[in-house]
Amino acid sequence: MITTEKITTTDVKRFNKNRIFRLIHYADKISRQEIADILQLSLPTVNQNLKLLLESNLIEFVGNFESTGGRKAQAITVNGMSKCAVSVNISDNGIKVALVDLKGEIICSEKKTMAFTTDSVYRESISELVKDVIVRNSVNEEDVLGVGITVPGIFDNENKMILSAPTMGIRNYPISELTKNIAYPCIAMNDARANAYAEFWFDRKFENIPMSNIDDFNRSAASGQSGAKLYLMLNTGVGGSYIDKEKIQTGAHNRYGEFGHMTIHPGGKKCFCGKKGCFEAYVSSRVLSTELDCSLEEFFDQLDQGNLQYESVFAKYIDDLTTGINNLYIMCDGNVVIGGPVAKYLLPYEDRIKRQLVEKYSFDTDASYFSFAKCNTEQSDTGAALTFLGDFISSI
């Protein structure tokens, strides 16, 4: 699209400041000369912007790099505690709250085991846990960007109502009831979408892409140019999301990613949603734990020991899982990532899963499109809170 709008000097300055901060955030530690070289900026421009970022308390100098023959270069990093967000995870296991700094690192977390209720006691428990992690870490109120709440359910188009969360017995519950005692901006998200955003956020930390020039930086996830991915979450419920350049697809009715409720066995096992044959009924964590009266860890311990009963259950599980993944890949023709509590137990069986994916796909593939989530469960749970950090970084 052609535009006649002129780019002002102020726009250029803001753009450079944002790029410099994003690069520091991406690199974790970097020198001013590296910033200048990678972004193709003059040292005076870099120094001017570093001064502004330092005055805003967003960066700090943390010692020096090893000398390469001349004066030791200062190491520059993001001041993680300059801004924070709070993550609140609501599930059938209770409430988990975590304080997340600007780097995305979890500073502290607390859990409270209690069943969901619609009375004031439940929402007051949430607000007290939020207050506690903020006060205990001496965070100024103005430095709290917001509170991200995740729920394993379906929301309305405006994200103001939880239409259904079967595993928690929730129907048509206003988000405002959960947040009315919280004195900070709040956002509520489906848990699988939050997990997908967290995977996007942390992916760049694990890629370890060598950056030596502007092209490397432009290809990095920090610049919003990472590849699109379909994310499948395996938990007590099964859901997912599709994320591309920081944008999460929502669909016409805000139900994009409810992969757990596609039918893989017509007339089969009953799902929590009330229908029969849903993907979720065959690949949720319950199949490998609750239904067998054991924990996931106990199941896989027995599997490793050659328990034939558990091997039979697992063989059926993998067959159903790969059927669903194959269906998703046929629809999206792109990368498929699986995460959630079950994923870490499946990692040793990656080759087995890929072999079955190759067998089931109608065209040529080596199943390289398939991978496991890089961030752990604790990191994934912070996804809704990370959206506040992402928005803040974009505004710098």
Q: From the first residue on, what is the mean pLDDT of each consecutive set of 10 residues in the chain (396 residues)?
A: 66 90 89 92 95 96 77 90 96 93 95 91 94 95 96 88 87 92 94 88 62 59 58 90 76 81 95 92 95 94 95 97 96 91 95 96 92 89 94 93
Q: Residue 9: what are its φ and ψ, rounded to 5°?
A: -60, -35
**Same domain, yes or no, for 237 and 365?**
yes
In a domain, 207, yes or no: no
Choosing from 48, 78, 108, the residue where a domain stops is 78
164: enclosing H helix or E strand: strand 161-165
Q: Tell whether the torsion through CA atoms of 260, 261, 267 and 273 is positive or negative.
A: positive
Give me the helices (H) in 40-168, please.
43-55, 120-136
Instruction: Choose one of 45, 62, 78: the last residue of a domain.
Output: 78
In contact, 69 and 76? CB cutoff 8 Å:
no
State the pLDDT at residue 221: 44
Verify that 234 and 357 share a domain, yes or no: yes
The answer to whether 126 and 88 are in contact (CB under 8 A) is: yes
Domain span at 261: 225-376
Strand partners, 61: 76
Last residue of a domain, one of 47, 78, 109: 78
122 and 46 housed in the same domain: no
For residues 95 and 236, state if they share a domain.
Answer: no
Measured CA to CA, the distance from residue 117 to residue 120 in angstroms comes to: 8
Q: Does 118 lie in the same domain as 180? A: yes
> What confidence score (pLDDT) does residue 1 get?
47
User: What pTM was estimated for this model as a whole?
Assistant: 0.83
- Is 229 inside any structural domain? yes
Asked if 31 and 87 sit in the same domain, the reply is: no
Q: Is 216 inside a domain boundary?
A: no
192 and 257 assigned to the same domain:
no
Q: Are residues 15 and 116 in the same domain?
A: no
Sign of the CA dihedral running 209, 212, 218, 219: negative
**Separation between Cα atoms, residue 216 and residue 277, nearest integer Å:** 46
Does residue 182 belong to any structural domain of this protein?
yes
Q: Are residues 162 and 29 in the same domain?
A: no
**Token digits of residue 388:** 């506040």
388: domain CATH number is 3.30.420.40
